[in-house]
Structures are given as C-alpha cells and as structure tokens.
Structure 1
C-alpha cells in the first residue's frame, strides 16, 4: 500500500485539438498541471486539481477524464470557455501549440493558508503542492497561484515546472522574473532544455539549473529529450540517458516525467514539510533512482498517442526491463 501523500495541483486544463498529417482532428484532455494530477492518480497517489473549466463539451470531457482516474477536480466559477490548444504534430511526433486561453482563477480565498485543507479529502491536508505552466505566468490568475504557493510552504513542499509557451509569456524580461520568483518558492523544479534556451538563450542548461538550485530548490531537473535528463542538487549533479522507445508523439512527456518524479520522491519520504530537510540532504544514488522513475514514465508516455501516462504496474514493469 502506498504511503499517504495528498497532492494539490494548481493550474490549467486545456482541450488539446490534435492535428496529425493525413488524419482527422482529435480532441484530447490536456494542460500541463492537469496532466501531472492525472499522472499522479494513475500511479495511485491522492491528487486534487484546483483549476478552471467552462460549462461546455470540452470542460465535461476533461472533468470526466480526470475523475475517472481518481483526481478530485475543484473549480472556481469561471464563465469563460474551457481553454483549448491546437496541437500540430510533425512527422517525428514533435508537438507545436497554438492557444486560445484565459486564466482568471478567482482569489476567493484560494491564496490563504487553508487552501491546503479546503480542496482535499475530508480531514486531511495536502503535503505537496505542484504548479507551473500557463497558470503561474498568465494574469490575473497567476497572482492567485503565487499566493496559494506562498501560503502553503510552511506545511507542504512545492514543485514547479515553467513549461514555457513563448506565445503566452509576454515580455521576455518580465517572464524571466516571474519564472525565477516561482523557482525561489519551490523545493523541486523541472524544466526542459528548450524551456531554458528560451529563458536564457545560449546558456548551458546545466549551468542554468545550478543557478536555480542555488536560489532555494533542493532539486533542479532538466529534461533533454533523446539525450536523457540531469539533476542538480546540494551534493552535486547526476545524469542519465534516455530510455529507448519508439516515439509516437511527445505530448505530455514532460508532465509524465514530473508525476514520475513526485511519485518516486514520495515513495522515499522526501515530500511534505516533514521531508524537506531529507530532500535537501538527498544523495546521488537516490537522485539517480528518481530520475530513472521519471524517465521511464516519460518513455511509456511518448510510446503512445496523447498525454497517456503509465499506471503503477506499467511503470514497475518498465523499470524492471531497463
């Protein structure tokens, strides 16, 4: 039986309108934070998603998808349509996005300390909070997200994935400041090499991750596609290669990496306020094992269409094969 860890994910849901060469458009549930919540629930973790959904067909599709996996979905009273993104896949399965999205998550007390208690199972508090992507940079909702994260830090660990979408980031210098503020509030940060190239053009991703780690996070992770992943932590740096797989598409790969990371950290008692000091003292062997879990989760996801992360049995079987 899994150790008890309640995770509060704060962020957007997006209806992905997937366009493949020579195929009919397909609408799939998406949104980076929603994918992380879904991935955690698939792995048997207790997950609540605080988000916005419109009262439309796409909103119903996404809610049904999440709740079927066991995610508790909590929404504000937004009247805007459910956000959507046209996802165009090239011949190698790489995804490019065009968004139609607003993010107005109402304050309504979400930024107060009791957010940890209001949205989870009765009688429990969330011990970890995850956010990122559009939700952490697009105003006015981003201010609500930052307030909730700031208030949660005394009782929960925090993870953050900027999941950079250049067309939604606004002014570059201002976007970098917003991202770095979120990084400094976090215990775990994850970014792709493409994210870091946009944020810090021409800088080595490992150096950027080391600089982030020095500002507060215990663990800074960088995904590098076919080149694997690296982690920077107080004790140094470790890298692993990519898990060999046949890529169908890359939709949701980074989110599966994130949910795999959190699952592995939780299994080792490294999340929650009571695990923060252990996380700060983590050793290279443990970090390598966490990366293996994360990379295997991502590899299983890219081997099938859409953001379809593995369940616990699939992940365990994949780890045995590696």
Structure 2
C-alpha cells in the first residue's frame, strides 16, 4: 500500500535545452520531457521523485537546482555529461531539436512503493537504460498507476518499425497514455490519430489522450467514451514544454479524482499557460486555478 504522501515516480532523461534564436544570444533552459513532467507535478503541489542521469557539469548543476527549487526529489545516476539539445525556434515559436544524448540508467530498486509511475520519451526506449526503466515499471505495474508519454524525437528513434515496437511495449505497460498528433504522425504515417488511439487501447491502457496543438485534445477510454476539449487561446512565446505541462496537469487532476473531462480541461489550460512564456515553465497550482476560473466555456468538453 502507498501512503497518502507517497510521491509520483517519474523516470527518464534530463536535458539542457540550449534555445537558439537568430539575432539573439543562446539561452539555456533546464529540460527533458520526464524532468519537465516531474517539475510540473511539483509546481502543482504533487510530490515527485525524478529517477534520471546527470553529469558532473554546469548543466547538471543547473538542472538539479531547477528541479529542487520546485520540490522535486532528484535521484540521479552519474553520467559522463549532462544531455543537451539545441532548440531552434521558428517565427511562430515552434521548436526543432538537435540532440546530444545518451541514456545508460543502471538497474535500480525502490525502498517504498510510489503513488504512481510515469515514464516517457528518450529514457523509455533508448538502450541500455530503457531496460532498467521497463524492469522497474514491470515490478510496480498492477500495484500503482502507470502512465506513459512517448514524446517522439525522430532523430533519436532509429528506424521506424523498431521504434513502433518499443513504443507499443511501453503503451502495453501503462494505464494512461498521452501522445501528440505529431508523435502519432511519425510513428504511423497517414493514419488518423483517433484510429491509432483506438488501437493503443486494445494493448491495455484504460485511457489514451492525444493533443492536437491549436485544435485542443481528445481522449478515448476502454469503456468506449470519447471526450474532446478545445485549446485555450494564448499568445505563443514558444511551444517548449507544452506537452509536458499537459501531462503533469493530467496526472495531477487524475490523482485528485477529477473526472476525465475535468482532467482534460486542466491539462489544456496548463499547456496554454506554458506556451505563453519562454521555456518549459509550467504553471503553479495558483496560476492554474486562476486560469481555469477565467477560461469559462473554452474548456467545456463535448462528447
């Protein structure tokens, strides 16, 4: 049994995002999808532990300090250097990434059960570390909720067929899966997101949620329910971390016992707040609550 104060265990990479814009100096932001989810959970008041790797360098110290400032407990194996990514922003604030990342997480064990386990992105599918991630998830699966966000990075995924197999292995381990329409378009070219979400449900999850950018998001459930929410309008600074904020808010709302419609409303609102400011800067609980009060019917789901 988990205690009421048990943290969510997030497993995966930290990345130093080096944001590069023409005519401006580089700016380094702490990043990495799982790290962003852990940070987003802590900002919302949800205890979180991040199991990750960090190098003994300035970027590693920056990321650790950033995570701990929000209350994340960082449990990091030491790597040769902290992973990094050059992030180039286009005129609309959309991000493109060039990565320098390795993932060698050794086998680990936990002293106590977490409240839930979240895995995602590079750490869930990149060997040799992915084997340690999957082994840990398999140990706790069935005893605590498991969630997954593939957060596909094509440059790091290898050939598509193998990537699909690795992603679907993680989908099958999870009760809640979130993906973007861009993730699905790379994994399954030419297929409708709804068709892929339905097929993923057959692998085992009870909920598959898909973000659609400015078109909002939808979720399918194993009980045959489909929910849709529109996006919350925002002036976009950049899109870095928007999907991770969506994921963190979705997990937080689910843990509070919020119904799925309310969970999606909170998630799209958190994403809108994040894109309105530079970097992976998710909202605090107070900011999200205030935004939800002001969003009105923008977040009313339709069946």
TM bucket normalised to smaller: over 0.9
Q: 1:148 — aligned with what? A: 136
Q: 1:58 — aligned with what? A: 59
Q: 1:86 — aligned with what? A: 86
CA–CA separation in structure 2 for the residues paired with 1:227 and 1:154: 34
* 2:281 aligned with 1:293: no
Report if aligned partners of 2:56, 2:78 keep a CA contact under 8 Å in 1: no
Q: 2:201 — aligned with what? A: 213
RMSD: 1.1
Cα offset for 1:260? Answer: 0.4
CA–CA separation in structure 1 for the residues paired with 2:71 and 2:161: 39
3-state SS of paired residue (1:103): coil
Q: 1:281 — aligned with what? A: none
* 2:250 aligned with 1:249: no
Q: 2:174 — aligned with what? A: 186
Cα offset for 1:136? Answer: 0.8
Deviation string 1:33-79 (CA, Å, 9 cap, x unpaired) is: 0000000000001100000000000000000000010000001233x
3-state SS of paired residue (1:207): helix
Q: Choose from 229, 234, 254 the match for 1:240.
A: 229
Cα offset for 1:213? Answer: 1.2
3-state SS of paired residue (1:131): strand
* 2:234 aligned with 1:262: no
CA–CA separation in structure 1 for the residues paired with 2:212 and 2:142: 32
CA–CA separation in structure 2 for the residues paired with 1:96 and 1:221: 23
Q: 1:274 — aligned with what? A: none
Report if aligned partners of 1:95, 1:251 keep a CA contact under 8 Å in 2: yes
CA–CA separation in structure 1 for the residues paired with 2:98 and 2:136: 28
Cα offset for 1:174? Answer: 0.7
Q: 2:20 — aligned with what? A: 19
What is the TM-score with the length of structure 2 in the denominator?
0.94
Report if aligned partners of 2:274, 2:281 keep a CA contact under 8 Å in 1: yes
Q: How many residues align?
A: 291
CA–CA separation in structure 2 for the residues paired with 1:203 and 1:5: 39
CA–CA separation in structure 1 for the residues paired with 2:242 and 2:139: 30
- Counterparts of 1:125-136 in structure 2 under 5 Å? 125-136=113-124
Cα offset for 1:288? Answer: 1.3
Q: 1:172 — aligned with what? A: 160
Report if aligned partners of 2:6, 2:113 keep a CA contact under 8 Å in 1: no
Cα offset for 1:5? Answer: 4.8
CA–CA separation in structure 1 for the residues paired with 2:77 and 2:25: 33
CA–CA separation in structure 2 for the residues paired with 1:157 and 1:42: 20
CA–CA separation in structure 2 for the residues paired with 1:294 and 1:251: 15
Report if aligned partners of 2:270, 2:282 keep a CA contact under 8 Å in 1: yes
What is the TM-score with the length of structure 1 in the denominator?
0.89
Q: Structure 1 segments of 4 or more deviating over 4 A?
A: none
Deviation string 1:141-165 (CA, Å, 9 cap, x unpaired) is: 0111111111111321100000000
* 2:188 aligned with 1:200: yes
Q: 1:279 — aligned with what? A: none
3-state SS of paired residue (2:78): coil
